[in-house]
């Protein structure tokens, strides 16, 4: 059986649709940091957002590097290597 990936456990982002009066179920389950509650907003939410942003920016950099390598391989007609 293949294990299921749950990104909300790694990056517990907001799961509600606006400002709440109380912390919700996902907060208590550890799947949300409670950014809709003003006193929790900046304390706990800033670092995960910065981590996610850094991860996505790194993925864009890697994608650009791989694309450049692929174009180089295509230029010298190494099609199988470019496909990898």
Q: What is the pLDDT of residue 13?
A: 74
Q: What is the pLDDT of residue 24?
A: 80
Q: What is the pLDDT of residue 21?
A: 76
Q: Show the tokens assigned to 64.
A: 């650009």
Taking phi over 0 as left and psi of -120 to 50 as alpha, with beta for the rest, 30 belongs to left
Q: What is the pLDDT of residue 79?
A: 84
pLDDT by residue for the chain (84 residues), tens digit each?
566 766 666 777 777 776 677 778 888 887 777 777 776 666 667 777 788 888 888 988 999 999 999 999 888 888 888 887
The residue whose two tokens read 């912390």 is: 23
């Amino acid at each position: 059986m293949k294990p299921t990936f749950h990104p909300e456990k790694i990056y517990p982002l907001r799961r509600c649709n606006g400002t709440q009066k109380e912390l919700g179920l996902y907060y208590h389950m550890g799947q949300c940091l409670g950014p809709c509650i003003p006193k929790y907003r900046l304390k706990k939410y800033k670092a995960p957002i910065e981590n996610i942003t850094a991860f996505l920016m790194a993925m864009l950099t890697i994608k650009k590097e791989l694309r450049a390598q692929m174009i180089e391989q295509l230029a010298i007609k190494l099609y199988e290597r470019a496909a990898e």
